[in-house]
Amino acid sequence: MDRTHGVSLMDLKIPLVLESQAEGGYTVTSPLLPELITEGDSVEEALENVQDALAAVVEIYRETGRSLPDGLGLSTAGEGSIPSP
């Protein structure tokens, strides 16, 4: 499982914005992580794709030596966690 500074990606709690697209499907972004952008044909698929997109963003932060934004929280008891595929 991907980890960042000893914290599982599944433990991160991040705000997500889900937008329906005129041509169909949904786009997911995060105001705290502007690099996080993903999509899916359904809400469920779009949210499932967040896990891979988040892992890619965390890797970009690692490779460039940047710290993750302070506003990222840790979820408790699964609340607000990112669904795993």
Predicted confidence (pLDDT) at residue 83 exceeds the cutoff of 50: no
Q: pLDDT-derived band of residue 2, with 50, 70 and 90 as boundaries?
A: very low
Share of the chain above pLDDT 90, in %: 52
Model pLDDT, residue 82: 45
What tokens does 45 get? 């698929």
Model pLDDT, residue 6: 40
Cα distances from 42 to residues 12, 36, 68, in angstroms, run: 23, 18, 28
Domain definitions of the chain by residue range: 3-66
For 21-62, write each residue's pLDDT tens digit: 999 999 999 999 999 999 999 999 999 999 899 989 988 988
Question: Which CATH number, 2.40.160.20, 3.30.160.250, 3.30.70.520, 3.40.50.150, labels domain 3-66?
Answer: 3.30.160.250
Between residues 17 and 77, which one has the greater pLDDT? 17
Model pLDDT, residue 71: 76
